[in-house]
């Protein structure tokens, strides 16, 4: 059971393993992209490519879905970024219950956006966890964990791909140890738990009152979605890459300190932010020097 790109490596790993997949379950086709065209989820595309039967239920809590799964008599349900919370009666069908792959080192960063928030919060390390599912949100007993380093250049896109690959490997290791009885689940410590919410498009608006270091992490953490943005007058600018500098200034946060042919430097609540890649009305992501060739930005302009 999985839906987005993050779940595809796990499905591929299972496909190439000795385990038998009797059914793939994914979310219904949804509108995606600028044109809002109805598109199949990546897991459905992979299921078709591998030749598996698949279902796309609107609601996994319905008795009809429970009865269908029970009729398959599965040994185990594997869940990777599926998008619906499984009811207890569904989890209890297989003898090995339901195993989830989550993109954080639980109990930290429970919730739907652990990859983005780990970068936004300036973490140096995150990881993947396999756990036995229960009725809560990422609250089940931990099986295995694999730490993954966050590099200063990582965006949520690059870290997503790292964690998806590590999660697939950890899933296979988990299944092997489960079937040999060598894996004992460990309860999560509620006192160490943290929850991170889903990000929305409006959450990409840059707060220039924050320190430059925090803004740079924020830009990395929400690249590519929802994407960091600011306004230069009425023009919406999307910022893709930046660097924090220790340069101190008395200027109002958001003030452009320098705008040379190849550089935009902006005052923040502490330090300054060097904008390296951005997108304006052209709709193309450009290096700053290329952007400034066609769109000037005067020193002392205030970004909001």
- As a whole number of angstroms, the distance between CA 133 and CA 141 comes to 7
SS3 117: helix
Q: Are 223 and 246 in contact (CB under 8 A)?
A: no
Class of domain 5-192: alpha beta
| pLDDT given for residue 38 in this prediction | 95
| pLDDT given for residue 36 in this prediction | 85
3-class secondary structure per residue, 233-276 = CCEEEEEEEEEEECCCCCCCCCEEEEEECCEEEEECCECEEEEE
| pLDDT given for residue 281 in this prediction | 85
| pLDDT given for residue 260 in this prediction | 77
- Kindly list the domain boundaries of the chain, sorted by start residue: 5-192, 201-294
- As a whole number of angstroms, the distance between CA 265 and CA 272 comes to 7
Q: Are 101 and 171 in contact (CB under 8 A)?
A: yes
Which of 55, 60, 54, 130 has its CA nearest to residue 88? 60
| pLDDT given for residue 157 in this prediction | 98
- Which residues fall within 8 angstroms of residue 34, CB to CB, at 6 or more apart? none
- As a whole number of angstroms, the distance between CA 3 and CA 129 comes to 18
**Sign of the four-CA dihedral 18, 55, 2, 49:** positive
pTM of the model: 0.95
* 101 to 69, 120, 169: CA distances (angstroms): 20, 22, 10
| pLDDT given for residue 182 in this prediction | 87
* CATH level 2 (architecture), domain 201-294: Roll (3.10)
pLDDT along the chain (304 residues), means of 10: 98 97 97 87 98 97 97 98 96 96 98 97 98 95 98 98 98 95 94 97 97 98 97 96 95 92 93 96 91 91 97
């Amino acid at each position: 059971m999985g839906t987005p790109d993050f779940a595809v490596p796990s499905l591929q790993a299972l496909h190439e393993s000795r385990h038998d997949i009797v059914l793939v379950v994914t979310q219904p086709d949804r509108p995606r992209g600028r044109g809002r065209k109805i598109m199949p989820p990546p897991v459905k595309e992979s299921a078709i490519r591998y030749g598996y039967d698949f279902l796309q239920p609107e609601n996994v809590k319905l008795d009809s879905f429970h009865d269908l799964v029970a009729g398959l008599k599965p040994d185990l349900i594997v869940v990777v970024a599926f998008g619906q919370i499984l009811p207890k009666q569904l989890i209890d069908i297989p003898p090995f219950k339901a195993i989830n792959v989550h993109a954080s080192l639980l109990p930290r960063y429970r919730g739907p956006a652990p990859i983005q928030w780990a970068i936004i919060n300036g973490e140096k390390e995150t990881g993947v966890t396999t756990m036995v599912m229960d009725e809560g949100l990422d609250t089940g007993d931990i099986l295995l964990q694999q730490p993954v380093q966050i590099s200063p250049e990582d965006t949520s896109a690059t870290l997503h791909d790292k964690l998806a690959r590590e999660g697939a490997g950890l899933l296979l290791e988990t299944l092997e140890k489960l079937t040999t009885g060598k894996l004992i689940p460990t309860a999560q410590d509620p006192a160490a738990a943290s929850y991170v919410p889903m990000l929305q498009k409006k959450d990409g608006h840059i707060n220039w009152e924050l320190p430059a270091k925090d803004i740079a992490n924020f830009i990395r953490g929400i690249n590519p979605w929802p994407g960091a943005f600011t306004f230069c007058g009425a023009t919406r600018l999307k910022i893709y890459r930046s660097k924090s500098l220790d340069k101190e200034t008395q200027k109002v946060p958001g003030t452009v300190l320098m705008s040379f042919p190849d550089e935009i430097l902006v005052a923040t609540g502490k330090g300054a932010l060097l904008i390296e890649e951005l997108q304006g009305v052209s709709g193309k992501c450009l290096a700053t020097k290329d952007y400034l060739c066609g769109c000037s930005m005067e020193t002392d302009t205030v970004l909001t």
